[in-house]
Structure 1
Amino acid sequence: MRATEPPRTGPVLVVIGGLPATGKSTVGRAVARRFGASYLGIDTIRQSLYAFAERDADTDALRHAVTLGLGYSVAYALAEDLLSQGQCVFAECVNSRKATRDAWAAVARRTAAQFHEVELICSDPAEHAHRATTRTVDIPGLPLPTWQDITERDYAPWDRPHLTLDTAGKPPDHTITELSNALALTLTP
């Protein structure tokens, strides 16, 4: 079954999280496109804020704010705006902490949106390391984390039900279809 934009009775928020180099951007963009949804990438927002900071005299304060979560705050506000207009929004971010996961859930509650949390993992450490060390950046100026950065990242386990998809040993198209099909089943009235 090929997923097309499902009939919806209201806004839908899909948050795709997971460690870097698990396929979040590739999968998130493709599935959002299939559903005719808006796509918000935290890396794009954060890098734009960093680039803006470089033009200002007080770059340290803004860079510090971005490090503390300003990019997520901007994404929450944008998502809430789009959801309030009845849109379907895909937000892609590492989403490594309970606080960020709860904040996304609060956005969905405030806008009465259907809410779907997705975590992408790569269960094969060798494949994950290879992806992390060979991928190219698609956001100008964005520094990619090293494999060491990824393995040492503070990533809290999920404390509630969510959809987990393992991207190890699969081409991106497989995960794109897997997620599209899972969402089509839940988004169709």
Structure 2
Amino acid sequence: MIKVLDRLLLLLYSLVIAIASIVAIVAASGGFSVEWLQEVVSDFTGDVRVVQASVIGVSIVLLLVSVRFLFVSLRRDGNSAPSINQRTEHGDIRISVETVENLALKAASRTRGIKDLRARVRVSEAGLGILIRAFVDGESSIPTLSEEMQRAVAQQVEEATGIPVAEVSVFIANVTQAPATFKSRVE
């Protein structure tokens, strides 16, 4: 409920600031004559003190909303780390996305011929989408390595987390160069 209220406040705040900015830009660039502005204000209120009180009131409200947004932006929320939530008969289970990424990296690193790995996890209705970015040694078939890595990652993540894996995409970024070995020659 509070998040909905904060979003509504942010929307209204943004609209007020945008309108005030447009009016200020037009007024500063000479779009309104000073006499016309004074006439509009006096016709609208009839009293300069009422205008001053209105401006002070609106300014206080905007200041309070600004302080609220400052507080919300600086507050550390315990739920800030992205996680995957599951409900079981015994209670809730929260698994961080970072944990799933590490499980995927661990499973992918067991594949022979893989040198450098990175993983990204997306959560969707169908299950987890895992993207593995890898460097290979170039001595094995890339399609075979990729398929083996996909199977290993999907199986490991599903077994460890109980969350279905919708897809495992493998992106082979490059082939690593093996360091040159020189045989020493004794004469």
Q: TM-score, normalised by structure 1?
A: 0.23
More helix by share: 2
Kindly indicate whether structure 1 or structure 2 has the higher relative contact order, using CA contacts under 8 Å at least 6 residues apart: 1
Higher strand share: 2
User: Which is higher, the Rg of structure 1 or of structure 2?
Assistant: 2
Give TM-score scaled by structure 2 length. Answer: 0.23
